[in-house]
Amino acid sequence: MLGKAVEEAMNEQIKNELFSAYQYLSMAAYCESENFPGFAQWMRAQSQEETGHAMKFYDFILERNGRVVLQGIDAPVVEFGSPLEVFEQALEHEKKVTAMIHDLYGLAVRENDYASQTFLQWFVTEQVEEEKNAGDVVETLKMIGDKSEALFLLDRELGQRRTEEQQAG
């Protein structure tokens, strides 16, 4: 049985993960409007991944006989100054999500909820990857600077990332 404090915190994390998906979708829309289809594809895949994370929490709460209570999601940021700014904001967002996951893990430890600790370990590991992926693109964009040819090539490279839907079909 899932304790009340952990259940409430996980419901909050569902909202946070869905907000992340919404924010990445907004970043994708910006990239599309700026004619960067590869960056947009990368962000769409990221959005889909965040929705999957929300569903992991959703299913875990139900498996532990808890109650899923969905909450309102704030509007995402919609304007960005450049692809670099988009990815810098993505990196900062991932750092915030990492802190949220760590707080949730700490709560599970304090509550002696070993099943939740085991479940959350996957997210702890996942956040290392999320920060690295966004950070790598930020560093590459900084190296590129204003070189349009290099920006074009990076856009094409990042466009190779597939969503789960594209991988399945």
Alpha-carbon gap, residue 36 to 30, rounded angstroms: 9
3-class DSSP string for 67-123: CCCCCCCCCCCCCCCCHHHHHHHHHHHHHHHHHHHHHHHHHHHHCCCHHHHHHHHHH
Report residues of the chain scoring pLDDT below 50: none
Q: What DSSP string describes 4-41?
A: HHHHHHHHHHHHHHHHHHHHHHHHHHHHHHTT-HHHHH
- What is the reported pLDDT for 162? 67
Q: What is the structure's pLDDT at 168?
A: 62
Handedness of CA 95, 100, 101, 102 (dihedral sign): positive
Q: What's this model's pTM, rounded to 2 decimal places?
A: 0.92
What are the C-alpha distances in Å from 161 to residues 64, 157, 168?
34, 8, 13
What pLDDT is stored for residue 64 in this prediction? 98
CA distance 23 to 15: 12
Domains in the chain, please, with CATH? 4-162 (1.20.1260.10)
